[in-house]
């Protein structure tokens, strides 16, 4: 049996841990650039703010009642790790599925003890981290996810899916793996509930929707298609992209943003002990601005040998942005991707390319320095920090990084 433990309104709950004035209040956390609602407290949902809704579309009289926060991923990531460490103490195996969700194994826990252990996990997480969460239990991941959905509406915060009779209570769109498009298409064919989906003809489903939904159907029937994965599989690509706080016109500014993203992507690469075989850069004008000239160039290049050296990634990213940049457009977003990732030290080297043996050491010093003194303490001239009002993203409602920055610790008078 599997459980899914999911932090309720996770980012909003994180903001409340250290700021008691937010408790009981309608809290909304905004995406980067303070654009869209990406987490809402229950009070905020009750006011009608939708997931993903651009905050400027929320009527002013509602917006005035909201406690608004800019996304603070340093804080959320740290609290997420603390939740996971509680789970690792209580369960024989844990798969960290996302920043706010983990699958856990109930192996070795008697059936009549599951709800008690799940309840204990909830209590301990609440007590030790301040994050409220719910637990869904089922024989497959898909059923555990469904149970979690129901658990959110119960007092106990724990729900086990034990049989088909429960499936009819869920709309087909509630099922993990059934998104908006497929829910509409299935609905048009009369498949309206999770039970309908479980009972429909497998061959027709496979033909019309492909193997992904066919697997989901099996999981609803209790046939596990995905196991608990305790170790994270290696990444296939690493992407860093941001919208700009304002439109950017000049090549130097666009190039500076791309340099910043390339440096960050290289850091993420080394943190996972990977090397990149290629670099990919793209630029975007503002698609929401009707009448503005649009331009969405995208270009990739292979490195001669896979590398984790920021200098090589940076040089290639700069060459790419310069080759794509066109004067006369207002750029709103850019991104850098690292492709063809492979574990460090396993690559085939080029017979004629010499690898700089000092590279690994230099990058290690760079990373250590930035870990110790803060990101960007040691860097590259091509990515010097943007002046306020330049391309830097807007974060007007950012809370302190209470748990990850010494100078931002909570002060208790």
Partner DNA sequence: TCTGGGGTCCTAGGACCC
Cite the DSSP H helix spans in 238-326: 251-271, 310-324
For tokens 């930035």, name the residue.
370
Binders of DNA: how many residues, by CB under 7 A?
46
What is the DSSP code (8-state) at residue 56?
A: G
Given 127, 165, 181, 411, the residue binding DNA (CB under 7 A): 181
For tokens 């996304």, name the residue.
71
Cβ–Cβ < 8 Å for 331, 247:
yes
If binding is defined by CB under 7 A, does position 286 make contact with DNA? yes
CA-to-CA dists, residue 175 to 92, 145, 170, 180, 290, angstroms:
26, 8, 8, 11, 36
If binding is defined by CB under 7 A, does position 374 make contact with DNA? no
Given 15, 43, 100, 312, the residue binding DNA (CB under 7 A): 100
Cite the DSSP H helix spans in 27-172: 42-46, 60-63, 73-90, 114-129, 141-151
Given 68, 74, 218, 239, the residue binding DNA (CB under 7 A): 239
If binding is defined by CB under 7 A, does position 36 make contact with DNA? yes
Rounded distance between C-alpha atoms, residue 233 and residue 33, angstroms: 30
| Shortest reach from residue 57's CB to DNA, in Å | 7
- The closest of 355, 407, 362, 393 to 260, measured between CA atoms, is 393
Q: Kindly identify the residues of this chain, within the stretch 144-173, that bind DNA according to CB under 7 A.
A: 145
How many Cα atoms sit within 13 Å of 372 on the Cβ side? 7
Tokens of 90: 């209580």
| Shortest reach from residue 339's CB to DNA, in Å | 9
Rounded distance between C-alpha atoms, residue 1 and residue 276, angstroms: 38
Rounded distance between C-alpha atoms, residue 388 and residue 296, angstroms: 26
If binding is defined by CB under 7 A, does position 388 make contact with DNA? no
| Shortest reach from residue 383's CB to DNA, in Å | 15
Strand segments, DSSP code E, in 330-381 are 331-339, 342-343
Rounded distance between C-alpha atoms, residue 197 and residue 173, angstroms: 10
Instruction: List phi, psi (to 5°) of 40.
Output: -140, 135
| Shortest reach from residue 407's CB to DNA, in Å | 25
Tokens of 6: 């999911």
Given 218, 378, 392, 393, the residue binding DNA (CB under 7 A): 393
| Shortest reach from residue 29's CB to DNA, in Å | 10
If binding is defined by CB under 7 A, does position 293 make contact with DNA? no
| Shortest reach from residue 202's CB to DNA, in Å | 13
Rounded distance between C-alpha atoms, residue 186 and residue 170, angstroms: 14
| Shortest reach from residue 353's CB to DNA, in Å | 20
Q: Kindly identify the residues of this chain, within the stretch 109-128, that bind DNA according to CB under 7 A.
A: none
Given 242, 259, 260, 263, the residue binding DNA (CB under 7 A): 242
Given 9, 243, 260, 266, the residue binding DNA (CB under 7 A): 243
Closer residue to DNA in complex, CB, 121/144: 144
If binding is defined by CB under 7 A, does position 318 make contact with DNA? no
Given 25, 35, 378, 398, the residue binding DNA (CB under 7 A): 35
| Shortest reach from residue 180's CB to DNA, in Å | 5
| Shortest reach from residue 194's CB to DNA, in Å | 12
Q: What is the binding site for DNA (CB under 7 A)?
A: 31-33, 35-36, 38, 52, 54, 56, 97-101, 145, 176-183, 210-212, 233, 235-243, 247, 268, 286, 288-289, 332-333, 335, 337, 393
């Amino acid at each position: 049996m599997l459980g899914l433990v999911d932090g309720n309104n996770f980012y909003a709950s994180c903001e409340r841990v250290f700021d008691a004035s937010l408790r009981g209040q309608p809290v909304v956390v905004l995406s980067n650039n303070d654009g869209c609602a990406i987490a809402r407290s229950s009070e905020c949902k009750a006011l009608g703010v939708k997931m993903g809704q651009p905050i400027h579309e929320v009527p002013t009289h509602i917006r005035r009642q909201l406690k608004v926060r800019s996304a603070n991923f340093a804080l959320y990531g740290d609290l997420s790790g603390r939740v996971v460490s509680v789970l690792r103490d209580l369960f024989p195996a844990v798969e960290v599925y996302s920043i706010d969700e983990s699958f856990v194994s109930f192996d070795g826990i008697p059936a009549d003890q599951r709800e008690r252990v799940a309840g204990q996990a909830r209590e301990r997480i609440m007590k030790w981290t301040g994050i409220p969460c719910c637990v869904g239990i089922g024989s497959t991941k898909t059923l555990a996810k469904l149970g979690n959905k129901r658990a959110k509406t119960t007092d106990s915060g724990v729900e086990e899916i034990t049989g088909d009779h429960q499936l009819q209570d869920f709309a087909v769109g509630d099922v993990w793996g059934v998104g908006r498009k497929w829910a509409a298409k299935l609905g048009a064919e009369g498949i309206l509930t999770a039970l309908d989906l479980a009972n429909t003809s497998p061959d027709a489903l496979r033909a019309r929707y492909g193997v992904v939904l066919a697997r989901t159907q099996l999981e609803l029937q209790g046939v596990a298609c995905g196991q608990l994965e305790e170790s994270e599989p290696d990444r296939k690509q690493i992407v860093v992209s941001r919208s700009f706080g304002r439109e950017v016109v000049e090549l130097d500014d666009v190039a500076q943003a791309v340099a910043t993203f390339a440096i960050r992507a290289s850091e993420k690469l080394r943190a996972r002990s990977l090397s990149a075989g290629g670099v990919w850069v793209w630029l975007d004008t503002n698609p929401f601005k009707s009448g503005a000239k649009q331009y969405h160039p995208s270009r990739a290049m292979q490195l001669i040998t896979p590398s984790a050296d920021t200098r090589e990634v940076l040089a290639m990213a700069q060459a790419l942005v310069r080759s794509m940049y066109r004067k006369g457009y207002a750029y709103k977003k850019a991104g850098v991707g690292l492709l063809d990732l492979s574990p460090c030290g396993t690559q085939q080297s080029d017979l004629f390319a010499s690898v700089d043996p000092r590279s690994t050491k230099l990058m290690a010093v760079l990373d250590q320095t930035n870990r110790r003194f803060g990101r960007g303490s040691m860097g590259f001239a091509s990515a010097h920090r943007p002046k306020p009002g330049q391309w830097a993203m807007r974060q007007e409602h950012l809370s302190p990084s209470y748990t990850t920055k010494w100078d931002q610790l909570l002060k208790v008078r």
